[in-house]
Structure 1
Amino acid sequence: MRPEHFRITRVMIDGGREVCLRLSGDLDGDARDELRQELFDAAHDNDAPLLVVDLHKTLFLDSEAIGALLDGLLRAQEAGKAAQIVNARGVVRTVLQVTGVLDLFGATAESSVGLGGPGGATILPLRAPRGRPDAAARRRRVT
């Protein structure tokens, strides 16, 4: 079995005022469906007014992952949440600039206030939505 090539971690931060998806690794076609589902869940199963996608550890985004990202962030806005991309760097930032995604979602190089490391906001555990397995149980391992 080969190790995962991407990871999606969802946390509530800043006292529950932000729901954050932390993406890491290579987000390509293999990540598309899980990313789309995680974004949908983050938009609809909590009362946080802000959805933040943290790309600090993202190494690669392809067009399918960008499509899922756009779809999910637009769904968050439709659900009444502000949506923001943070920590896009290097080639990931370049891809997001070329595609216009940075302009759409106000991406910044820095984290939101709640994403600051030590001394930052307390991370709250997520509750699994009724009738659905928790996010950790849905993680897909690529073999």
Structure 2
Amino acid sequence: MRPEHFRIARVMIDGGREVCVRLFGDLDGDARDELRRELVDAVHDNAAPLVVVDLHGARFLDSEAIGVLLDGLLRVQEAGKTACIVNARGVVRTVLQVTGILDLFGATAESSAGLGVPGGTRVLPLPDRPGPAESLPREAT
């Protein structure tokens, strides 16, 4: 059995107004089923009007993970909720730009202002275009 190479965490934020699905590591075919479950649960297990996918910790997305991500984000919209992606960087950001997913589910500063974990770090919003904001460190709160 190989060591865990991905992790997915779902957290409620801002008094239940946002649900955040945080992705870590290499998301490939092994992550497909768990990612699908977390995204479906993020849509249906709460009344939060905003579903945010935080890719700060993601190093790689293969085509299966991209397909599940796209399907999940479309389910969010079909449920009448808002979907956005934050903190995509490096090769993950490039893949999402090339596939057009960032154009469909871009993030604004307002949509990610409440992202964070109790006693943890505040997550930076995805900038509209590459620039200095991508190189800012994560702030401890």
TM over 0.5: yes
Partner secondary structure for residue 48 of structure 1:
coil
| Structure 1 unaligned regions, length at least 5 | 122-143
Identity of aligned residues (%): 83
- Correspondence for 2:61: 61
Q: Which has the higher contact order (CA 8 A, sep 6+)?
A: 1
Partner secondary structure for residue 22 of structure 1:
strand
Letter in 1 for 2:90: G
**Once superposed, what is the RMSD of the aligned Cα atoms?**
2.3
In 1, are the aligned partners of 2:11 and 2:20 still within 8 Å (CA)? yes
Letter in 2 for 1:45: D
Higher helix proportion (structure 1 or 2): 1
How many residues align structurally? 121
In 1, are the aligned partners of 2:26 and 2:61 still within 8 Å (CA)? yes
Match runs of 1:109-124 below 5 Å: 112-116=112-116
Over residues 41-98 of structure 1, what are the superposed CA-to-partner deviations in whole Å (9 max), with x where a residue is unaligned? 1000100000000000000001100000000011011111100000000000000000
State the TM-score, normalizing by the size of structure 1.
0.77
Q: Distance in 2 between matches of 1:116 and 1:46?
A: 18
| Structure 2 unaligned regions, length at least 5 | 123-141
In 2, are the aligned partners of 1:53 and 1:86 still within 8 Å (CA)? yes
In 1, are the aligned partners of 2:13 and 2:116 still within 8 Å (CA)? no
State the TM-score, normalizing by the size of structure 2.
0.78
